[in-house]
């Protein structure tokens, strides 16, 4: 099964243990599903995890482990279709990944 997760779910997984985002993250790390992402999301996660309001909740080792996991365990898509489904421009990349995954293009 291929899954696309919003960056907020990944951040929440590190901040709030034993919640649905954390359980989803743990399932991915145990290879129960294939996580699909892109360099854009890896960069976004790194940028967001450095926000002052979040830094006090995130451990640098955990954020580093997540980034390394994305780079080595997730499927990173490169060529993505252009979509404009969300008024929030930062949500459109997730829509592109989902569209690509739905088409089952690798």
pLDDT in tens, 13-30: 999 999 999 999 999 999
pLDDT band at 98 (very low <50, low <70, confident <90, very high): low
Alpha-carbon torsion (34, 38, 43, 90), positive or negative = negative
Q: What is the pTM of this model?
A: 0.75
Residue 105: predicted pLDDT: 45
Domain that holds residue 51: 2-103
Q: Of 24-28, 51-55, 90-94, give the lowest mean pLDDT range.
A: 90-94
Q: What is the mean pLDDT of the chain?
A: 84
Q: Are 58 and 48 in contact (CB under 8 A)?
A: no
Q: What is the dihedral of CA 14, 16, 19, 23, to 10 degrees?
A: 20
Please state, in angstroms and rounded to a whole number, the distance separating the CA atoms of residues 60 and 4. 24
Domain count, the chain: 1
Residues in Cβ contact with 90 at an 8 Å cutoff, skipping those fewer than 6 apart: 44
- Here the tokens at position 106 are 């690798």
DSSP three-state, residue 34 = strand
Decide if pLDDT at 84 tops 80.
no
């Amino acid at each position: 099964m291929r899954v696309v997760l919003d960056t907020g779910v990944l951040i929440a997984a590190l901040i709030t243990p034993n919640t649905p985002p954390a359980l989803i993250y743990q399932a991915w790390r145990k290879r129960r599903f294939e996580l699909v992402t892109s360099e854009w999301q890896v960069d976004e996660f790194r940028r967001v995890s450095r926000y002052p309001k979040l830094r006090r909740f995130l451990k640098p080792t955990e954020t580093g482990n997540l980034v390394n996991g994305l780079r080595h365990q997730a499927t990173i898509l490169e060529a993505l279709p252009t979509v404009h489904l969300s008024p929030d421009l930062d949500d459109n990349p997730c829509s592109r990944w989902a569209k690509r995954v739905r088409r089952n293009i690798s």
